[in-house]
Amino acid sequence: MCEACAELVHSHGVGVIVSSSTGTSTGSYYATSDLSRISDELQTALGQGPSISAAAEGTPVLVPDLSQPQARRRWPVFAESASAQGLRSLFAFPIGTGVAMLGALTIHRSDTGPLGEEGLACGLASAEATLDLMLHRGPDTTVPWANGSDLGSHQVEVHQAAGMVSVQLDVAMDEAYARLRAHAFRHDLTLADVATEVVRRRLRFSPDPATG
């Protein structure tokens, strides 16, 4: 679905993030290009960005120019970091409705400009179709990431790591995810990398923010 959408709207990549019940991103589900993967990983690590806003608010977030003041005020760190990676515009569509929000599908471009009427229709339809695919996957089905690994093992590790951090710090799960993301960003790692270290007990979080 992502590959088809990317081709139809002439984008430089389409990605899907998954989110918790509060709209917080818990990781990249799929990315068709390095640009999409980098964008989704940045948003997950920082806890901010158009894709996360779309998932949290349940409405499309369209950013035709990431360098504009409005975008930089709303997502200051993400806008600067993503622009440095060559991302110029992105268009995020929520996957789900109401309390049943699973994440967001995002169209990424390395040039500026509006998505257009046909692109908007494609993004909305692709997000709806992705929701159906995610809800009706069989229990043994795996969905490949751009680098060839599968969603199942990574997502399980991220959730498991968040649970372990929640116990270590005696905090709620959303705070545990936030600490994982912060560690990933500070050390230039993906959320999946940090989760693996936690689950394999090579990394333990301390109540002291300076050591977590």
Which tens digit of pLDDT belongs to each residue from 158-206? 767 877 888 888 887 778 888 888 898 888 888 888 988 998 899 999 8
Mean pLDDT score of the chain:
82
Which residues on adjacent β-strands are paired with residue 61? 92
- CA dist., res. 134 & res. 169, Å (int): 32
Phi, psi dihedrals of residue 146, rounded to the nearest 5°: -65, -30
Q: Please tell me whether residue 108 adopts helix, strand or coil conformation.
A: strand
Contacts (Cβ under 8 Å, ≥6 apart) of 208: none
**Whether the Cβ atoms of residue 103 and residue 126 lie closer than 8 Å to each other:** no
Angle at 44 between CA 147 and CA 191, to 5 degrees: 60
**Whether the Cβ atoms of residue 212 and residue 205 lie closer than 8 Å to each other:** yes
Q: 71-80, 87-96, 122-131: which has the minimum mean pLDDT? A: 122-131
- CA dist., res. 114 & res. 61, Å (int): 12
* Segment 62-86, tens digit of pLDDT: 999 999 999 999 999 999 999 999 9
The whole-number pLDDT of residue 185 equals 85
- CA dist., res. 48 & res. 186, Å (int): 15
Q: Span 94-99, mean pLDDT? A: 79
The whole-number pLDDT of residue 171 equals 83
Give the residue ranges of DSSP H helices in 113-150.
Answer: 116-135
Q: Span 21-32, mean pLDDT? A: 71
- CA dist., res. 49 & res. 137, Å (int): 27
Over 80: is that where the pLDDT of 145 sits?
no
Model pTM score? 0.69
